[in-house]
Structure 1
Amino acid sequence: MENYTYNSPTLQLEGLNVSKDSIYPLYLFFFFSYLFIMVANLGIAVIIFIDKSLHQPMYLLFCNLPFNDIFGNSIMVPRLLIDMFRPPSERLISYYECVVQAFTTHMFGTTSHTVLMIMAFDRYVAICNPLRYAAIMTNKMVIKLTVSAWGVAFVLVGILLGLTIRLNTCRALITNPYCDNASLFKLSCESVYINNVYGITFTVVLFIGSVGSIVLTYTKITVVCLTSKNKSLNSKALKTCSTHLVVYLIMIFNGMSIITLHRFPQYSFYRKLSSILFHIIPCSLNPIIYGVQSKEIQKFLAKLFEPKKIFRHKLNYVLSTFIY
């Protein structure tokens, strides 16, 4: 018979149950991935802020991704790392902390979609309306798009969690490595029909809106590139769009993996691992993909390390002169 704990202020996380042989390699992988995410994304954001040549709509809109990646991992991953070395009975979390963790998790996933959507709009204007780009993509437009991306995500996720918070809980076990909306409303013994309906609607609308906008913009971009004989335009379009598309496809693939694994309860460990990798993999690859692709960022890094090279050359010259 199932034990019931009504409206418990403290919940227990099932966590990620790993064998003793695998716990240290997995821990080190998560730890160094988290460290890289924080350093790389913060570094990219600082570079864009410092270098005036990067104060362009494309980079300013991209800046939303590093902040979202930092925001999405700063609460979930540290807690996960701590819980990995705790026995299951000691993986406790307060209800309100769990709600905050669920909110940041869903904000991260939703904002990833909305930010990539506004970035797709920027690429569409740049390639399909290059003469009007400066007039359309003004600073006000960049601010409006940014506020829209975060605002829409905040409202959608706020309603999602609001419908869950209203429920009374009768269980205290979160069957996940971290808190999310589904884990929270499953703690209730009340009807969760509204939660399920809104959750499915939320997912379908976000997915259709995201995929639809990407397909529409890239179809128009492809048509322009095929009909245009401007090789420089096509080359620029290929570079900027391929980067954006790769980031989007990585995010979609990770999300679809989690949804697919939910259909197979026997693979619960892989589902949990996939849900963690949904945070880690895209956030680790985003700064690499954009950093490698962007000539402006490469130039900034080259200038940053150039003085050190000059200093080393001068030092070697002085030493060689002194020796000989």
Structure 2
Amino acid sequence: MNSFNSALGKNISFVRPAYFIIRGFIGIPNINYYYVFLFFVYVVAVLGNTLVMVVIYLDHNLRTPKYVAVFNLAFSDLLTSSALVPKLLDIFLFNHRYIPYNDCLTFLFFCYTSLSMQAFNLVALSYDRLIAIIYPLHYQVKVTNRFMLSLIASFWVFVTIAVLISAGLLTRLSICKSVVINSYFCDHGQIYQLACNDYFPSYVIGMMLVCLILWFPLIFILFSYSCIAYALSKVATVQERLKAFKTCTAHLSLVAIYFLPVLITLTIGTKIHPNARIINLSLTSVFPPMLNPIIYVLQTQEIKDSVRRLRKRLITKLQKTIPP
């Protein structure tokens, strides 16, 4: 602990501000329309992900490893939307830009944890597709519900510990340059740059998190689909290839929706106006939770069939309860 304190600098009197100010969207005309749009996105995300979770929970035919991961993805999406959008609307629509210090770190924790779990859920789903296509005869043995639950639980533990460490390092910083966060939420990178003592440990953990939470999942997913493409090239008929690839279309759509906007924003982020960058980043955070359930409901035959069965069951019960 002494060596850690010396790394931060000696004789530092820590300054913890009573609050931060979320700068967010400044000087953008008609920005209130964007907040109305965010509210619409939030409602669709909550309804869609709740529907997917309820369908998977009620239909015993969907109690498979793949849909264990889909259920957790819907839960992560629901947590992301609920952690981010209501607070974002409260800050900007009702002009509550002052956020207490501890509340800001709590906001940071829930946002980063849920956003990170979205990426790791895509890893779990890509592993499921990899084994299902390359080792179809051994799928039932290699990928079980217990295995998938253990994998997802390990992801939750890892992400929670990693984000707690990053938030804990922020409490070792003396915030005296400013209290204005140039983002739409309590952004880790924006906070540690406000420190006047050494924030190198926070910088290192931030870079590690980017590698582990963004690049590792993306590289693993690309490697998985490279193996899948190679395996499919050995399949005899085109029809069999298309049938196997069709089982991956929903997952590939989720991967594209999650990673492409982030990569594009990181690539051109320094070349565009700060307001445009903030809007792009906010959209990359709120769009996937809204689109993920829509994609799974529309592109996955099992869920569409399950929705039809549950609807028929509900109609039958209602007809029995209503007197003639």
TM-score scaled by length of structure 2: 0.86
| Residue matched to 1:294 | 300
The equivalent of 1:160 in structure 2 is: 166
Instruction: Work out whether 1:66 is the aligned partner of 2:74.
Output: yes
- 1:111 Cα offset (Å): 1.4
Do 1:106 and 1:157's aligned partners in 2 also have CA atoms closer than 8 Å?
A: yes
Contact 2:174 2:197 in 1 (8 A): yes
The answer as to 2:274 corresponding to 1:268 is: yes
- Work out whether 1:138 is the aligned partner of 2:144: yes
Query: Contact (CA 8 Å) 1:117, 1:214: kept in 2 or not?
Result: yes
More displaced 10-residue stretch of structure 1: 246-255 or 28-37: 246-255
2:121 maps to which of 112, 115, 126? 115
Structure 1's consecutive aligned runs of 4 or more residues displaced over 6 angstroms after TM superposition are 307-313
The answer on 1:11 being equivalent to 2:20 is yes
The match for 2:40 is 32
Contact 2:19 2:101 in 1 (8 A): yes
Identity of aligned residues (%): 26
Q: 1:214 aligns with which of 213, 218, 221?
A: 221
Q: 1:307 to 1:56 in 2, by over 3 A?
A: closer
Q: In structure 2, the residue corresponding to 1:75 is in which secondary structure?
A: helix
Q: Pick from 240, 245, 259 the counterpart of residue 238 of structure 1.
A: 245
1:47 aligns with 2:55: yes
- 3-state secondary structure, aligned to 1:263: helix
1:122 and 1:137 in contact (8 A); partners too: yes
Distance 1:233 1:127, change over 3 A: farther
Give the number of equivalent residue pairs.
307
Q: Which runs of 5+ in 2 are unaligned?
A: 1-13
1:154 counterpart letter in structure 2:
T
Which deviates more from structure 2 when the two are superposed, residues 125-134 or residues 217-226? 217-226
CA apart distance, 1:240: 2.0
**1:308 and 1:68, CA in 2 relative to 1: closer, same or farther beyond 3 A?**
closer
Q: Which of 200, 205, 219 does residue 198 from structure 1 map onto?
A: 205
Question: Structure 1: any 5+ residue segments left out of the alignment?
Answer: 319-324
Instruction: List per-residue Cα deviations over 1:115-151 (Å, max 9, x = no partner).
Output: 1111111111111111111111122201111112212
**SS of equivalent residue, structure 1 residue 188:** coil
Q: 1:322 corresponds to which residue?
A: none
State whether residues 160 and 199 of structure 1, in contact with CA within 8 Å, keep that contact through their aligned partners in structure 2.
yes
Q: Distance in 2 between matches of 1:261 and 1:100?
A: 29
Q: CA deviation at 1:237?
A: 2.2
Q: Is the 8 A contact 2:249 2:299 kept in 1?
A: no
Q: Which amino acid aligns with 1:25?
A: Y
What is the RMSD of the two structures over their aligned residues, measured on CA atoms?
2.5
Secondary structure of the corresponding residue to residue 217 of structure 2 = helix
